[in-house]
Structure formats: C-alpha cells, structure tokens
Structure 1
Amino acid sequence: MNKPNVIVILNDDMGYSDIGCYGGEVQTPNLDRLAANGLRYSQFYNTARCSPSRASLLTGLHPHQTGIGVLTYDMGPEGYTGNLTEQCVTIPEVLKANGYRTYMSGKWHIASNLTQPTSAWPMQRGFDEFFGTIIGAGSFYHPSTLTRGNSSADREALDNPNFFYTDAISDEAVDYVRRHDQQGGQDPFFMYVAYTAPHWPLHAHDEDIARYRGRFDAGWDTLREQRLERLVRAGILDKSWQLSPRDPTQPAFEDAEEKAWLIRCMEVYAAQIDRMDQGIGRILASLEETGQLDDTMIVFLSDNGGCAEDIPPGVDPRQLVEKLMIAQYRTRDGRQVRIGNYPDMMPGAEDTYQSYGQAWANLSNTPFRFYKHWTHEGGIATPLIIHWPNGIAEKGGIRHTPGQLPDLMATIVEATGSHYPDARNGQAIPACEGVSLVPSFTDPDVTRKPLFWEHEGNAAVRHGRWKLVRNYPGAWELYDMQTDRTELHDLAADQPDRVAELAALYDEWANRCGVIPRAQILEIMARSPEPAFWEKEG
C-alpha cells in the first residue's frame, strides 16, 4: 500500500453533540458524509482546553510534558512555560523525516511569542507551509497575528473586504491540495487544518444565520432531550444513560429573559459550524478532483467541550485588544467594535464581539455535565470521525473503545509506516504516550491502557469502566462509565478502595508527566495575579 496522505481537521470550542452525525441540529452534510463512509468514535477525548489539546495532539504527549499545562502564558519559574518545548517532536516533524510534505492552515496557539518567529512556531516545528494565526481567538473578519510562513499576513485581511477567517482557512487548505498535485504529488502530504469556529466571538454570514432561523426556538431543555434521543437511535450512546439535569445555574428556557437575543446567539453559533462544514466540503472536492480522496486518511475532532464563558458588558477593550491581541477596537471600515454580551445587540456582524453562554453550551455538551476547562465528560468528550477508503473497509461504523489525543500521533505513525524517534536534535525526548487506533479500524473491541487528564486542578483517570474525576478543589468522584457515562451517581463513598487504587494511578502519572499541583500554580498566580477568564485567549 502507498503511504496515505493525512489530514487532521480540528475545530475550536465545539460540543460533543452539535454536528448532525452526532445528534445535533447543525447542517453538516460533509462531516456526515465522512462519518457515513468511515468510523465514528463515541468515547474519544481531548484535554479540556485549546492550547493543551493542540500541544497533545501534535506531539503524542500529555500537555504538561510539552510545556503547555494551562495556556500560552508563563506560569512563573516553577510553572509551565506556555511555549512548546524543544524536548518533544511534532507530527509534521515525524512525517517529514519519512518523506512527507507538510502543510498547515489555521490556529496554532502553542507559542508564547505572538509576533516574532521562535522555535515554537509552525515553520520551525516541521511545516513546509503555514497560513493562520498564532493567537488563540479573535475577530473572524480581521484576526490578529495572521501569518503566512514567518511573516505577517495582516494585509490579506485588511485589503480584502470579503475576508472571513473560516473561509480563508478552508481556501488555503484547498490551495495546498491542488498545488501539491500540480507540483507532481509524488510524495504524500500531511495537512493540519485548525479552524477557530465556533470559538467566540459570534461572527457569521447573514445567509448562514438565516438557515437556522427558528431552529432553536424550542429552547435548550427540549433540544437536549431531542439530541439524546438521536444519539441513542444512532447507536452512539447507550439508552440506559440518563440525560444530565440542566445546569442548575441556568433557568428553564420558558423562564429565560431576552429570548430573541438568546436564540440569535445559538443561530450564529450554528452558522459558524455550518460555514466550516462548507469549507470541509471544498477540501473534499479538491481531493476528489486530484484523485486523492480514497488514499487520504481524514481525522476530524474538537479541542474541548462547549464553552460556557460569558463576555460581560463593560469589559475593558484594552485587555483584549492590546494585552491579549484577540480583538480589534474598530472594524476594517472604521466602526467601533462593541465588546460584550449586550442583549440589545444581535451578534454576527464585524462590529460585535459576543459569546453564546452557559445554557447553550449545556446543550452543545448533551447529554453530559460541565464544559471546557473541566474533566467531566462535558469538558473532554469530542466527536471523532476517521475516514480512509483505502484503509478502512467498514462504512458508517461506530467504535466505543475509549481513546484520547496522544493516540492520534500513534495512529498516524502506524498508518503511514513512519518511525517515532527517541531524540530530537540530539536531545532525548519522551516516548509517545498514545496507543494506535489502527487496530480499531477492524476490531470494535480493542482494550487499552488507562487515560489521564489534568487542567487547572480538574483531574481524571479512566481505567476500563471506571472513571475517577474531580472538580477542583472538590473531592474525587467515582463513576461506572458502563452504566452511568453521564456521571450522575457518584460511587466514591461506596467504593473507597477503588478510589484509592485509581488515585494512586493518577498520582503516579502526574509525577511522571510533570503535572504541577494546582495549589502551587495558584501560589505563583498570587504573586502575578491570574487574568480573569476573558483575558485568557482560547
């Protein structure tokens, strides 16, 4: 078999059940097509936050091993550097050493220097070509840190009145496919397509928003029930798993105020995903036009669960524009950008900067509890689609074997016949932490080693059917994932020995992988106060 091309498509802040083939209302015919002709994984996991997820995906390591345990900011001399370490190897570096051309379009977000090329930038970490943003979030009409290669590409947004970042990411990926073919296409290629959709701000085209007019009028309570029904009917979730209660901090939809604005927020969020799917359709078309679709392994997933972060009215724009570089003061034609979730301002246009809020994020993560940041299922469960006609015979299959981000490095290495090195630039690096998913392409019952998570003190370990998880600084909770994946019945008090056994596994992993205790991180932050959540890009 020839070495396959590999395309990894990662999107940003999308919940488990938003896309059509995972029970959602969003029209995603292209992702649905990949699912219908490939495999869907029901229990695959990210790391609960965008920067750590990207670092883990690209290196096959846990994020703490890569220098990015929280985000891309320095936690002090005793903390994480917030910058991709040179003591790890990336997927493009591995594949480039095995004869691949490498391309990237989209969000990077694993380098602390946002304006000057460093050893943590894409071109220095194995990519032959790069177009995208170094920062983690921003306007879709005029994103900050837009870069081509190692140089600013800001004029590409400023000089094009039709510029929209989701479209630009898709168009660049299409261009890579076509140029690769025109240049002979003798070598296989790896392409990383990292969308910022549907991360806030809520920016979308009017025609895309219009497609969802009325679709969410029933409200989050009814829609959560409908999503779970579709997930069970599709065979993705077990019918015995109960729907988690609505987030207790949120009202019943019938009691919510400002309904017109709330509904519009969800319509724009859906439109963001829709636009991404349209772009994925163009990428698929370019593969078909060049005769490469059948021998290209395409992987799609999200970097964390749905995001419950609010952008309150009155946020100091200087924090977002000057300090974090994730917003603009003005639109490209000079109008003031109004930042904050003002209910008298409908989201979508360039002069708005809003988020969709906690109640809709609760819908996005149906049927699970919690959100991005947390290691309960709502924060870490992601859809995962793998499509590879020449490598996966089964069409439309579902795999229930658990897995997590480091597995993608191991999978790609095995599928491409590549070699994961034990050193980079003469320095020893950690062994890949992942387990290849390739056996699951033919065997639906693959067993695997335990899975681990830690983010901001929120932590978890899953071993077989058992998951130990905590919402920091709370106590450990224990759940039987075979009977209660929605984490409603805490068994910790009834099974202290199992709690102790799993906690010991977690402690061993945390020590080995350099997880810094959250109390120590908070001490460092107290000396240099942690930014409020809206100051944290990503």
Structure 2
Amino acid sequence: MTQRSVEDSTSASSKPNIVLIMADDLGWSDLGCYGSEIRTPNLDKLADRGVRFTQMYNSARCCPSRAALLTGLNPQQAGIGHMINDLGVPAYQGYLNDNCVTIAEVLKTAGYRTLMAGKWHVGGEQGNLPEGWHPDMLGYPSPKGRGFDRFYGILSGGGSYYNPNMLMDDLTRISIDTTDYHFTDAIADKATQFVDDAIHRDEPFFLYMAFTAPHWPLHAWPDDIEQYRGKHLQGWDETRMNRHETQRGLGVVDPSWKLSPRDSGVLPWDEAPDKEWRDLQMAVYSAQVEQVDRGIGQLMAELEETGEADNTVVVFLADNGGCAEFLAEDSPAPDPSRYNYPTVDGRVVRTGNSPSIDPGPPDTFASVDIAWANVNNTPFRLFKHYTHEGGISTPFIISWPDGVSEKGSIFNNPAHIIDINATLLDIAGAHYPTTFKGKDIKPAEGESFAKVLSGSDWERDKPIAWEHEGNRAVRIGDWKLVSEIGDPADPESKAVWELYNIRDDRTELNDLIDGERDRATAMIKFYNDWAERCEVEDWENPGFTLRPKLGTITRHNHGGGPVIAARLGPRRELPTPE
C-alpha cells in the first residue's frame, strides 16, 4: 500500500484503524527493544515498523494513568486523582466524571466501531455489585456506558488470572468454570474476535486492549515458566548492568547517564538468600510479559491476514513503572484477606511471598518484589506510586506502516500520556467536543505529536505536571522538579523538592536545587498554579485526612544522600511562592 499522510488518512474512506494496548505494572526496561532479556518479538517488530519514544510519561499508577489515557485530561480533572475509592472530593471521587469524554465516545462520533478487552479500573468501587447488576445501574461508569460498543474484561484492579473477579461480557457478569483459562490469553482471544467482526463492517475500528499482566499475582503457564527458570540466577545486580549496557547499544539511553545505584531496600545479590526461589519469581514475571507479547502477536496476525495491518495504528505503553508494592492495589495497605478465596477446582489460595511457595499456579498469590522491580525500571530510581523517573516512565511504541516515514526511529523529546489521546483523535480526524450529552466538557490538556510519524520534530508547548499520593513533579524543558512525600511513620519527615537536568542526568543522581533556586522557585509556582486549577489536594495538609500510609514500600536512597529531610535533620527548603 502507498504511504499516506496523517491528513490524507482522515478521509471517510481511509481512516485508519486504531489499536491502543496498555500493559499493567510493566517496567521501562522490560521489553527487548528497551534492553530486556525477556523475549518480546512481536513488540520488537512493532518498534522496527514504528517509532519508539524514550521519554513518554504516564501518571504513576493504574487508575490515574487509565483516566488520563482515556480522557486526555489530568487524572484529577477526570475525577481519579487517586484510585477507585472515593476520598470525598470531586478530583478524587474514584470514577470518571460527567465533565470528561472518553476517546471511545469521541471516536464514535467520527464513525468508529469501539471495542475494549481487559481492565477498566476507572469506574469506582464495584467489587460487591449484586448478581445481575451492572455499574451503570448505580451511577458508576462502565465501558458500555462510556462509549464502547463491545466489552470483555474486569471492572476493578488486579486479581487471579485463572479466576478473575467481576469478569464481564458487555453488561453480563460471568464466571469461570474451567481450569484451562488464563485472563491474559482471554484478553487476546476476545480482542482478536472483536477485530475479526469489526473488519467485516464498513466503519474503521478502535480497540482498547488493556492487559492486567504483568501486575501481581505471579500467574503463568508452567511451560512458559520453565523457559525462564535459571535465566536470572546471575541476580538482580548483574541483570540491571546487562540491561543498561543493552540500552546503551540500542540508543535508548544516553551513555553519559549513570546507572542508578541498587535501591537501598535491596540486598546485594551475593548476600541474598533463597536464590533459586528469587530466580523463579523473575521467571514467572518474564513468562507473563512474554504471554502479553504473544497475545499481541495473535492480534497482529489477524490484521496481517485480513490486509488491515498497514492501515492500523498500533500504540503500546504501560500504566506506571515496575511495581514494588504487594496487595495494595486500591488501598494504601496490603490486605491478604481480599485474595483468600478458592481456585476454580476448590483449592485454597496461598497468599504471600515465601520461599516455601513456588509462584505461578492458581493456588498462589505472590509478587515480583522490590529487588526485581528495581531491575524492571533500569536505569531509573523508584517505582510505581512515585513521580521520580522509575515511577512515571513507560516504554512507548507507535506503529503505522502507512503513516510512519522513518521506521525503527527513536524519538527523544518528552511527551505525556494525555498527548496519546490528542494524537489518536488527530489521526482519526475526530473533534474533541465542548459539550457532550448535555454536559460541559473540560478542555483537552494533551497535545498531538502526530507530526512525529512523518519524521518532523515536535516539542510540547506546555510543561507537564504530576501528583499522586502527595508525590509531585514538574517537567519544563530539560528540567524536572520532583518531590517524594514524607514518611508518615516519621512525624519529623516532610517532603522536599529536588531539581534535575534530565538531559544530563535522567537517572536523577545530581540534585541541583541549591544552585538553581530561581529556576526552582518558578517551577514551584507553576506546580502550585497547576495544582489549584486541577483541584489537587495537599496530602500533607492535616485537613486532608485520607492520606495513605505508604509504609508498605521501603524508603529510598539514591546514593547521593537521603532524599527525606528527617534523615539529615533540617534540610534546605524553598519558600512556596504566593
């Protein structure tokens, strides 16, 4: 097929299909084309046919990232500043509000058939809906109620892959009665079926394929696990160094950036006990990642066989960085009782990370843990939850054979998850509304980077800002201001701002705030103005009583001195501008 420009593609007869794929809790370095030893041939092929971004940012956590991706707004503007629990204020109500519009709702107005398979997680607390009820009956948004013609998946967050909770087929709740079921495979199967049906219709299609893998629990097929058993016995230190070297060779990191030190909560591999069990943790995780890749390959094969691949835009990203948490998906503290239910064949689930329990089977519920999460985010610091680079950086691939002029290229300018929404609407020729179903819609925040596909340069006009659980950041040009919330277990601890030149130091090891006070003050003012406009809460304000307890994750040291004021006694602080 001949190559078409973005402008040409928006005519009624040639609008491209769009496939938007999101992985869950995948680290920045977990794909082969971003430096991993894990096999991801299908995603690597998409990268070869498309563009890889090295500085695409998400919103640090499952629900906020999904809200931002679907609406093109900052999460707080869409009503999901935290998770699906209602914190009592509109910006943190835990479900999409009526003043935002989903990408599915907008694309339907442009003639698209809209499909979703996977994890919703932007519709409030729905885990205890009565049988026969669906969310829209109670005023909570479901995919069917927010623009999707077809939906198969779960409404809430992480859970068993063999027996997922709140599994829905459109508006019908379904249960699993077979032991050969795995949710990752089911997402791929349903997505492929949806696409096969859509291809035989007149309109283009939009598919949102929202995997839950490789989010905990560590659940993978035995044959897949065995392919990786023993592959990580060299340990997390050597694996991080190997990934970093591979990243340098691929050109996705600057050779001058130092690999961040091993997280302070992690033992050196030489001192770690239970090495074979630790290797098995990573074997199951790797199997989960490869299973996602295999599902994407299944979908791509369908597109190839039907002749639709060249005119299909495929986008891949993750919702946050690698995950060091365990059993705290929608709450600030782990709750094992939430997952202590029988398997399909009646076995009791053994919950926890213990060398006495081999992860992988349906009767286990374990996580990859902090040490391997540190590997997943190579070469960056910190994890999911946080607004340091390890928490908000995602691998990002956009492939479109008919629309990408420099296939296999790497794009290094920063972009944000809200820009993906704007870009896909731009490519589709869809118009973002000012009103929808009688409601005023908040203006879109994202900026289209569609011109990157034709080989043109692009830079964001506006700065990027983040807030999640009191962790904050601002990105303006090459500079990033970032703050980790103080440790609630230590009353003397409080958040402090750090400042980094990301072009020179993306691993955030050289805090320049002492020598750049004017710059930092201006960036703090921008953050405060943004926070007020987006109704961001101050999590350290005693009046905001639902601040989470983050003791479930170790505190962190980046090698250049502690980042929490309490560890040093009084520490430098900038005045907050009025």
TM-score > 0.5, shorter chain as reference: yes
RMSD of Structure 2 on Structure 1 (CA): 1.8
Q: Which residue number in structure 2 is paired with residue 148 of structure 1? A: 169
Q: Which residue number in structure 1 is paired with residue 511 of structure 2? A: 490
Q: Which residue number in structure 1 is paired with residue 270 of structure 2? A: 254
**Residue 168 in 1 paired to residue 181 in 2?**
no
Q: Which runs of 5+ in 2 are unaligned?
A: 1-8, 487-494, 554-578
Normalised to the residue count of structure 1, the TM-score between the two structures is 0.94
Q: Which residue number in structure 2 is paired with residue 286 of structure 1? A: 302
**Residue 68 in 1 paired to residue 84 in 2?**
no
| Aligned-pair CA distance for 1:531 | 9.7
Q: Which residue number in structure 2 is paired with residue 178 of structure 1? A: 196
- What CA distance in whole angstroms lies between the structure 2 residues aligned with 1:533 and 1:135? 21
- What CA distance in whole angstroms lies between the structure 2 residues aligned with 1:483 and 1:521? 38
Deviations 1:476-509 (A, max 9, x none): 1000011000000000111110110111111111
Structure 2 residue corresponding to 1:56, chosen from 48, 65, 68: 68
- What CA distance in whole angstroms lies between the structure 2 residues aligned with 1:257 and 1:531? 26
Q: From the superposition, tell whether residues 531 and 46 of structure 1 become closer, same or farther in structure 2 (CA, over 3 Å).
A: closer
| Aligned-pair CA distance for 1:521 | 7.8
Q: Is the 8 A contact 1:368 1:378 kept in 2?
A: yes
- What CA distance in whole angstroms lies between the structure 2 residues aligned with 1:84 and 1:78? 10
For 1:46, give the aligned amino acid.
Answer: N
- What CA distance in whole angstroms lies between the structure 2 residues aligned with 1:337 and 1:409? 39
Q: Is the 8 A contact 2:481 2:520 kept in 1?
A: yes
Q: Secondary structure at the residue paired with 1:147?
A: strand
Of the structure 1 ranges 289-298 and 110-119, higher mean CA displacement relative to structure 2 is found in 110-119
Q: Is the 8 A contact 1:12 1:302 kept in 2?
A: yes
**Residue 504 in 1 paired to residue 525 in 2?**
yes
Deviations 1:189-242 (A, max 9, x none): 000000000000000011111111221111111111111111111111100000
Of the structure 1 ranges 303-312 and 410-419, higher mean CA displacement relative to structure 2 is found in 303-312
Q: Is the 8 A contact 2:405 2:455 kept in 1?
A: no
| Aligned-pair CA distance for 1:272 | 0.3
Structure 2 residue corresponding to 1:271, chosen from 281, 287, 298: 287
1:98-109 paired onto structure 2 within 5 Å: 98-109=110-121
- What CA distance in whole angstroms lies between the structure 2 residues aligned with 1:32 and 1:443? 20
Normalised to the residue count of structure 2, the TM-score between the two structures is 0.87
Deviations 1:302-352 (A, max 9, x none): 00000001459xxxx994555xxxx35111111110111111111000000
| Aligned-pair CA distance for 1:40 | 0.4
Q: Is the 8 A contact 2:51 2:407 kept in 1?
A: yes
Q: Secondary structure at the residue paired with 1:524?
A: coil
Q: From the superposition, tell whether residues 522 and 35 of structure 1 become closer, same or farther in structure 2 (CA, over 3 Å).
A: farther
Q: Is the 8 A contact 1:75 1:524 kept in 2?
A: no
For 2:222, give the aligned amino acid.
Answer: D
Q: Which residue number in structure 2 is paired with residue 375 of structure 1? A: 387
Q: Is the 8 A contact 2:413 2:459 kept in 1?
A: yes
Q: Which residue number in structure 2 is paired with residue 513 of structure 1? A: 534
Deviations 1:21-55 (A, max 9, x none): 11001100000000011110000000000000000
Q: From the superposition, tell whether residues 79 and 393 of structure 1 become closer, same or farther in structure 2 (CA, over 3 Å).
A: closer
| Aligned-pair CA distance for 1:257 | 0.9
- What CA distance in whole angstroms lies between the structure 1 residues aligned with 2:95 and 2:398? 29
- What CA distance in whole angstroms lies between the structure 2 residues aligned with 1:303 and 1:251? 27
**Residue 462 in 1 paired to residue 475 in 2?**
yes
**Residue 396 in 1 paired to residue 408 in 2?**
yes
| Aligned-pair CA distance for 1:443 | 3.8
Q: Which residue number in structure 2 is paired with residue 13 of structure 1? A: 25
Percent of residue pairs bearing the same amino acid type: 47
**Residue 453 in 1 paired to residue 474 in 2?**
no
Q: Is the 8 A contact 2:24 2:211 kept in 1?
A: yes
Q: Which residue number in structure 1 is paired with residue 563 of structure 2? A: none
Q: From the superposition, tell whether residues 224 and 510 of structure 1 become closer, same or farther in structure 2 (CA, over 3 Å).
A: same
Q: From the superposition, tell whether residues 109 and 24 of structure 1 become closer, same or farther in structure 2 (CA, over 3 Å).
A: same
- What CA distance in whole angstroms lies between the structure 2 residues aligned with 1:175 and 1:233? 38
Q: Which residue number in structure 2 is paired with residue 308 of structure 1? A: 324
Deviations 1:247-304 (A, max 9, x none): 0121100110111111100110000011111111100011111111000000000000
Q: Which runs of 5+ in 1 are unaligned?
A: none
- What CA distance in whole angstroms lies between the structure 1 residues aligned with 2:510 and 2:519? 15
The alignment covers a number of residue pairs equal to: 519
| Aligned-pair CA distance for 1:185 | 2.6
Q: Is the 8 A contact 2:71 2:101 kept in 1?
A: yes
Q: Which residue number in structure 1 is paired with residue 5 of structure 2? A: none
Deviations 1:422-473 (A, max 9, x none): 1111221111100111011134531212111110010100011000000113
Q: Is the 8 A contact 2:125 2:156 kept in 1?
A: no
Of the structure 1 ranges 115-124 and 287-296, higher mean CA displacement relative to structure 2 is found in 115-124
- What CA distance in whole angstroms lies between the structure 1 residues aligned with 2:456 and 2:249? 19
**Residue 209 in 1 paired to residue 222 in 2?**
no
**Residue 435 in 1 paired to residue 451 in 2?**
no
- What CA distance in whole angstroms lies between the structure 2 residues aligned with 1:68 and 1:523? 16
Q: From the superposition, tell whether residues 400 and 498 of structure 1 become closer, same or farther in structure 2 (CA, over 3 Å).
A: same
Q: Is the 8 A contact 1:13 1:197 kept in 2?
A: yes
Q: Is the 8 A contact 1:401 1:444 kept in 2?
A: no
Deviations 1:511-532 (A, max 9, x none): 1111111124873227xx8698
Structure 2 residue corresponding to 1:83, chosen from 95, 109, 115: 95
Q: Secondary structure at the residue paired with 1:519?
A: coil
Q: From the superposition, tell whether residues 310 and 409 of structure 1 become closer, same or farther in structure 2 (CA, over 3 Å).
A: closer
Q: Secondary structure at the residue paired with 1:35?
A: helix
For 1:189, give the aligned amino acid.
Answer: F
